[in-house]
Chain A
Amino acid sequence: MRAAVQVQTPCGKFGLARANRNCALRTDSTSFRLIARLSRKTNRSQVRHWAVKTAMFTSLSDFGAHLHSRLAAFGDTGSCDSFDDSGFDRLSRSLFRLQFEANPAYRAWSESRGITPETLSSWKQIPLVPTAAFKELDLSCLESGAASRCFHSSGTTGHTPSRHWHCTESLAVYEESAAQWFAPHLLKEADADGDLGSRESDGRWPILSLTPPSEAVSHSSLAHMIATTIQRFGSRDSLFVGALNSNGDWVVDTDRLLFALRRSLCGNRPLILMGTAFNFVHFLDLAEQRNLRYRLAVGSRLMETGGYKGRSRELSPGLLHSELSRRLGLAPSHIVTEYGMCELSSQAYSHAAGASPERHFHFPPWTRIQVLSPETGKEVEDGGIGTLAVIDLANVWSVLGVQTGDLAVRQGDGFQLMGRISQSEPRGCSLMTA
């Protein structure tokens, strides 16, 4: 931040910090006058440039509305000009400034890392909050009473979940972000096999979700994301076939699932299947038990996500996909893996349905990832292993910098998942048997 460095000299670091905190909540002209008064010796055009660049959003609502429009534009035109390197840098620094002001826990964390909006010179310096912190700290910018929805992380019983609070505006951004990156990966019309026009005449798809409906699991960001896609892209016969059992575990209503699959087969209509990996293992177990094998209509596709967390037997991704391919008659290219978490508002996908399946995930253009060496905290080289961190602009009312609990291999601007970082299970020499 060139201009900021220059204005620091005459005013002193702390005076400027106070001034900037104020100006983030003022109009552009007010903040410009304030800074100009504080830095008379500074080049005025540079100050104006700085003020326009950093105080272009007067509030998180303002930022959220702007981002929402850019996401919609991405959906309409596929344009990601707003999120090119300079655009992303500008937006992320603006959002950091707003969150620094509105989120005391994030401000305290940033200050302890020596980062303030004034010292931040690149999005790469944005302080990252470990996902574990969402379990115990209020990392929300929302005022008390403003939150209308809270997404929880899934996990084993007895564990405190992460919590990500949302309001109407933040949900709108969440939904736009989810839908706009879902569409190019799951709704692509021109598949590798040249299949075109496999959707309903109104352009909508039958979507079959193996998760419980969003209303039944209101804390699940995944169920909300699926509900959003059904609302936006699903035909009238889209449905959730998951439910909660008496223990609160997610189960699949097998009658409804098999009915929906048969209906799709009878009409030879392609459909989109969505669910967690353990949902699909439950389906595979059922298929094995009843000796079921389907050949879904050409163009059908499947999105699986998430871990197992002890809710079913565990299969490696390769085996899960080959079994699903065998039981459902789906090409491996049409089985897409999603990577998401309640602490983020954007998701990553392994590939677009129909494209050659790879195991490299990509987040949307309104995010950036870093794979950081846990030893040094520096970014690893391409092909190196480290902790995955995501800067997500769609996390408008929480924190934009999130350090995930996952190890990843950096692959260009994408990543390959290596697994969860062990959190807190007790270990001693006896536990090292392997």
Chain B
Amino acid sequence: MHVPSLPHLFLADLPPEAPLTPSLVRDACISVKRNRAQWLLPRRTSELVDIIAYNADRWLQADYPLRRIALQSGAAELGFSSPTMARGLDAFFRQLTHDHLIGWLAQDLGDSRRLDEFAAPASELRHGRLALARGPELLAQVAAGNLPVSTLSLMVAGLLLRSGQFIKCSQRSTLLPRLFAHSLAELEPKLGACLELASWPGGHEAFEGAMMGEADCLVVQGSDTVVEDLRRRMPSTCRCVAYGHRLSFGFIAGDVLGTFLARKVADRAAVDIAAWNQLGCLSPHVLYVEDTGTLTPEGFAAALSEALVRMEQTEPRGALRPEESAAIDQRRSLHQLRAAHHRSLHRDAITVPRGAFFEAPTAETQVWSSEGSTAWTVVYEADPTFRTSCLNRFIYVKPCRNLGDALRRAEIVRGQISTVGIAATEGRAQELALELARWGVSRVCPLGRMQDPPLAWRHDGRPALSELVQWTDWEQASS
């Protein structure tokens, strides 16, 4: 998307009539590496942390011009309404404080000074062992399409690691990474010169070859096919860090489904469904509801539909492309048809078998949905088997006897689950988290915070910073 008020700093800023060529990509990578050696490599961690935190603070101000462009143009480019975008951006930039950034370095590298000097935590010091971490010279990133924050998060990681960065944005969403890069360049033009952003159709061998030929580390967020394809073409000098496809779900324990609490739980679930229009890997596809509460799972689905009505008033979903609306419409029609069929079987007692070719769905289905739009849809299905949603605020509510029962029904996606948002009393939460961890879930959080992971969260269960660095160990001579 061409935003006229932005200066042409990056390849992605060029107007559509300026063609991108593989040699431009290669030259840009070389410039970034040169600038990085000159201006970024000598910087201290504390300075970079201060710049990032100060910049994030600007992004949290309602009148910050680049934020305003993001909110205004975001709807046109990404399909998010301004309130949805604002909530997502606020959640992300609130994390970028001095303390959180230092905490992230300390967590992933063992000691926050390790990018500046040889350092070690006490347990290693005792044995005379120190270590220094080095970030990649050129960190290339193939960014995911719909959700901008994971790209921004990696850009922050790259800065902390003093890496030059080349970000290949999805053609659909270059805007936020560009605005973020511009905000850094505004503060420190020399830092901006260590970043480059461009966009081309995924799978373009010449462009990707030029980028990977210069990079020493490539981070890919994409489907298995995209990752495999890039790995196949990657030169041996480049290391690949891939984040594959992940799914998430919610679990609501029966003990929080009292009459009073249920509405609050439904509101929290609505926050997770509305956040980034449910498009992220951390957004729930299914909410499993224990059938031991005062409110039945079906009753919870109805309460959730009311919460989504309220959410639509404050944070509307925004306009979708026809193919996205059509996917919702198709699926909604099918579930409504199942629901109608089920009702008719029970009401009229129509004889079910009409010959050998009749296969009536056995599960009970109910659908709640927005009138005259596809803004939100809640489908209650008595069949507890895990089902992927078509997203954009389309959620399945399914009953289960307990967590073990839910996990058995989600066995088909075991190993692909990123986050489980739980609503349970404090006493039970620990027991549930343990059960989920043993099953292989990489993140457990309270319902309502699924799309709001802390900065230092371990993406796909792996520490993000330490995935990118290389180490020099120094074993000191014993005195």
Q: Which residues of A contact B (CB under 8 A)?
A: 104-105, 107-109, 111-112, 128-130, 132-133, 136-138, 140, 143-145, 147, 150, 163, 165, 373-377, 385-387, 403, 405, 407, 418-419, 421-434
Given contacts A130-B333, A137-B360, A138-B358, A430 and B244 within 8 Å (CB-CB): yes
B192-249 interface with A by 8 A CB criterion:
201-202, 220-223, 226, 243-247
B170 and A433 contact, CB distance less than 8 A: yes
Once the chains are docked, how many angstroms separate the CA of A426 from the CA of B336? 21
Give the interface residue-count category, chain B. 35 or more
A432 and B326 form a contact (CB under 8 A): no
Q: Which residue of the partner chain A has the closest CB to B373?
A: A375
Other than the given A137-B337, A138-B357, A385-B322, 14 more pairs (CB < 8 A) read A104-B350, A105-B341, A109-B337, A112-B339, A130-B333, A133-B333, A138-B358, A144-B354, A375-B322, A422-B323, A424-B331, A427-B391, A430-B222, A433-B222
Q: A374-B322, A422-B327, A422-B390 are in contact. Are A432 and B145 (CB under 8 A)?
A: yes
Question: Is there a chain A Cβ closer than 8 Å to B355's Cβ?
Answer: yes
Task: Determine how close the nearest CB of chain B comes to the CB of A375; give it in whole angstroms.
Answer: 4
Whether A133 contacts B334 by the Cβ 8 Å rule is yes
CB-CB under 8 A from B220, the residues of chain A are: 433
In angstroms, how far is the closest chain B Cβ from the Cβ of A156? 15
Partner of B221, one of A143, A387, A422, A429: A429
Interface residue B281 (Cβ < 8 Å from any Cβ of A)? yes
Q: Do residues A112 and B144 form an inter-chain contact, with CB atoms below 8 A?
A: no
Q: Are B281 and A429 in contact (CB under 8 A)?
A: yes
Please list 5 pairs of residues, one from A and one from B, whose beta carbons are closer than 8 Å in the complex, sorted by A's number: A109-B337, A421-B326, A427-B390, A428-B283, A429-B146
Residues of A within 8 A of B325 (CB): 373-375
Q: Are B354 and A407 in contact (CB under 8 A)?
A: no
Complex interface: chain A residues within 8 A of B326 (CB): 374, 386-387, 407, 421
Please pick, from B320, B327, B391, the residue contacting A421 in the complex, using a CB distance under 8 A.
B327
Take A107-B344, A130-B337 as given contacts and tell me if A430 and B330 are in contact as well, using a CB distance cutoff of 8 Å: no
B373 with A376: CB separation less than 8 A? yes
List of B residues within 8 angstroms of A163 by Cβ: 357
B19 within 8 A of A: no
List of A residues within 8 angstroms of B353 by Cβ: 144
Complex Cα gap A109–B361 (Å):
14
Instruction: Report B202 CB to chain A, min CB distance, Å.
Output: 5
Least CB distance, B387 to chain A, in whole angstroms: 8
Interface string of B327-363 (1 = CB under 8 A from A): 1111101101111110110001010011101111100
A104 touches B344 (CB 8 A): yes
Contact B246 A430 (CB under 8 A): yes
Q: Which residue of B lies closest to A403 (CB)?
A: B333
Docked pose: A430 CA to B350 CA in angstroms: 46
| Complex partner residue of A129 from B243, B320, B337, B360, CB under 8 angstroms | B337
Among B245, B343, B359, contact of A431 (Cβ-Cβ < 8 Å): B245
Output the least CB separation between A397 and chain B (Å): 13
A426 & B344 in contact (Cβ 8 Å cutoff): no
**Bound complex: CA A229 to CA B105 (Å):** 72
Beyond A432-B144, A433-B142, A434-B170, is A426–B322 a contact (Cβ under 8 Å)? no
Name the residue among A107, A377, A418, A421 with the largest chain B CB count within 10 angstroms. Answer: A421
> Do B244 and A133 touch across chains, with their CB atoms under 8 A apart?
no
**A407 adjacent to B323 (CB under 8 Å):** yes
Question: Is B167 an interface residue, CB under 8 A from the partner?
Answer: no
Which of A163, A373, A374, A419 has most B Cβ within 10 Å? Answer: A374
Chain A, Cβ-Cβ closest to B150: A429
CA gap between A260 and B265 in the complex, in Å: 70
Check if B340 sits within 8 Å of A424, measured CB to CB.
no
Nearest A residue (CB) for B344: A108
**Chain B 236-267, CB within 8 Å of chain A: the 1/0 string?**
00000001111100000000000000000000
In the complex the two chains form, is A431's CB within 8 Å of B222's CB? yes
Determine if B374 is an interface residue (Cβ-Cβ < 8 Å): yes
**Contact A426 to B245, CB < 8 A, known contacts A405-B330, A433-B202:** yes
Across the interface, name the chain A residue whose C-beta is closest to B361: A136
Contacts of A144 in B (CB 8 A): 353-355
B215 to chain A, nearest CB (A): 17
B296 at the interface (CB under 8 A from A): no
Does the CB pair A434–B172 fall under 8 Å?
yes
Once the chains bind, are B223 and A111 in contact (CB under 8 Å)? no
The distance in angstroms between the C-alpha atoms of A356 and B334, with both chains bound, is 39
In angstroms, Cα B283 to Cα A206, docked, is 58
* Cα of A421 to Cα of B333 in the assembled complex, Å: 13
Chain B residues closer than 8 Å to A431, beta-carbon distance? 222-223, 245
- Determine whether the beta carbon of B374 is less than 8 Å from that of A374: yes
What is the bound-complex CA distance between A132 and B390, given in angstroms?
15
B322 and A407 form a contact (CB under 8 A): yes
For the complex of A and B, list the 8 residue pairs with the smallest distance between their C-beta atoms, beginning with the closest. Answer: A432-B145, A108-B344, A144-B355, A112-B340, A433-B222, A374-B329, A374-B326, A374-B325
Q: Are B323 and A421 in contact (CB under 8 A)?
A: yes
B147 adjacent to A112 (CB under 8 Å): no
**Cα A59 to Cα B11 with chains together (Å):** 69
Asked whether, in the complex, the Cβ of B247 is within 8 Å of the Cβ of A426, the reply is yes
The answer on a CB contact under 8 Å between B361 and A433 is no
What residues on A are CB-neighbors of B354 within 8 Å? Answer: 104, 138, 140, 143-144
The answer to whether B4 has its CB under 8 Å from any CB of chain A is: no
Q: Which residues of B contact A426 (CB under 8 A)?
A: 245, 247, 285, 388, 413
A430 and B221 in contact, given A374-B322, A421-B326 (Cβ under 8 angstroms): yes
Interface residues of B in 366-393 (CB under 8 A from A): 372-374, 388, 390-391
Set A104, A385, A424, A428: member contacting B245, Cβ < 8 A: A428
Given contacts A137-B337, A423-B330, A430 and B355 within 8 Å (CB-CB): no
A373, B220: Cα distance in complex, Å? 35
Q: A387-B330, A426-B388, A433-B223 are in contact. Are A108 and B281 (CB under 8 A)?
A: no
Q: Does B279 contact A (CB under 8 A)?
A: yes
Would you give the 0/1 interface string for B131-175, flagging 1 where the beta carbon is closer than 8 Å to chain A? 000000000001111110010000000000000000000111000
Contact A132 B202, beta carbon cutoff 8 Å: no
When C-beta atoms are compared, the residue in chain B nearest to A163 turns out to be B357
* Inter-chain contacts of B336 with A (CB < 8 A): 112
Chain A residues closer than 8 Å to B320, beta-carbon distance? 375
Q: Which residues of A contact B413 (CB under 8 A)?
A: 426
Determine the distance from Cα of A421 to Cα of B172 in the docked complex, in whole angstroms. 19
Complex CA distance for A318 and B334, rounded to whole angstroms: 34
Q: Which of B222, B328, B337, B391 contacts A133 (CB 8 A)?
A: B337
* A residues less than 8 Å from B223 (CB atoms): 430-431, 433
**B74: interface (CB < 8 Å):** no
Q: Does B280 contact A (CB under 8 A)?
A: yes
Q: Mark B176-206, 1 if CB is under 8 A from A, else 0.
A: 0000000000000000000000000110000
- CA of A136 to CA of B337, assembled, Å: 11
Please, how many angstroms separate the alpha-carbon atoms of A376 and B369 in the complex?
Answer: 12
Chain A's nearest CB lies how many Å from the CB of B28? 21
Minimum Cβ distance to chain B for residue A248 (Å): 21
Contact B226 A433 (CB under 8 A): yes
Question: With A and B bound together, what is the CA distance between A405 and B329 in angstroms?
Answer: 10
Q: Which residues of B contact A109 (CB under 8 A)?
A: 337, 340-341
Q: What is the CB-to-nearest-CB distance from A384 to chain B, in angstroms, rounded to a whole number?
A: 9
A422 to B321, CA, bound (A): 12
Interface set, chain B 272-320, CB cutoff 8 A to A: 279-281, 283, 285, 319-320
